[in-house]
Amino acid sequence: MKLRNRLSLSTLALSLLLLSGAASSGDAIIVQSTTSTKNSGLYDYLLPLIEADTGVKANVVAVGTGQAIKNAERCDADVLLVHARSAEERFVAEGYGVSRSDLMYNDFILVGPASDPAGVAEIKSVADSLKTIALKRARFVSRGDDSGTHKAELRLWELTGVDPVESSGTWYRETGSGMGATLNIAVGMGAYAMTDRATWTKFGNKSDFTILVEGDQRLFNQYGVILVNQDRCPNVKAEAGQKFIDWLTSGKGQAAIASYKVDGKQLFFPNAD
């Protein structure tokens, strides 16, 4: 084969490779997400299934819900997957999101050392448990990061009539960190903390910590998924983002979410609209 022909074939092969890569990147989306879905290992399980079925590759940015929403408002997202319903609905109402869909749920729990210094294990109400912790000035570690978990925690404190932030730096500590780091600090201090159950189940540094308060309906933890509005953010890959959402909310996607378990425990319960 002549050198010119070889070069032509090589150039053609390179062009096809580059075109293939461009097509692939066209179906790569950014998902701004809460940390609990990543920390639990759910994405490691779901994303290969989604890519195999739809061709959509999702690059997940896992931060607190508040930061995830801010990132999406700056158009640094195609899809938003978080757990703070009122903030999600505001995101859509202000034109940043196309629409919001329920995706799945689990619950929050209150964890602490087995010695339970504030004696909350026998208290059924999470609000009463928090009020007892405050009255006894028992150590409590909060994420303090505007995440979905932090937002939920503050809503619960409102029910107690106690403003824990006034005691920040004393019995109430704010880490400004993710759930895993906050749990590590709580364990190190022998302090109470509120966490989502999925992260706790996956968490490997439990020491003598255990679940002390659970089951109150106020601990319900709903996750939602939103396509970022292309009218507001022209760079949004709306078609690929919608494929991603459609898969998650389909029968197949919902079954996959239900089938994800850690140590035999189901972490998320699908409830798409």
pLDDT tens digit string along 152-197? 999 999 999 999 999 999 999 999 999 999 999 999 999 999 999 9
Residue 223 φ/ψ region, left for φ over 0, alpha for ψ in the -120 to 50 degree band, beta for the rest:
beta
Residue 3, pLDDT above cutoff 50 = no
Do 101 and 112 lie in one domain? The reply is: no
Q: Of 219, 236, 262, which residue sits at a domain end?
A: 219
Do 188 and 229 lie in one domain? The reply is: no
Do 142 and 40 lie in one domain? The reply is: no
Residue 4, pLDDT above cutoff 90 = no
27 pLDDT tier (thresholds 50, 70, 90): confident
CATH number at residue 168: 3.40.190.10
What is the pLDDT averaged over residues 228-234?
98
Residue 13, pLDDT above cutoff 50 = no
pTM value is 0.87
Can you give the residue range of the structural domain that contains 52?
3-105+221-270
The residue whose two tokens read 């032509």 is 8
Residue 260, pLDDT above cutoff 80 = yes
Do 177 and 250 lie in one domain? The reply is: no
pLDDT tens digit string along 99-112? 999 999 999 999 99
Do 83 and 116 lie in one domain? The reply is: no
pLDDT for residue 25: 52
- Residue 71 sits at the vertex; the CA angle it makes with 147 and 66, to the nearest 5 degrees, is 15
User: Which of 233, 203, 224 has its CA nearest to residue 272?
Assistant: 224
Q: Of 193, 219, 245, which residue sits at a domain end?
A: 219
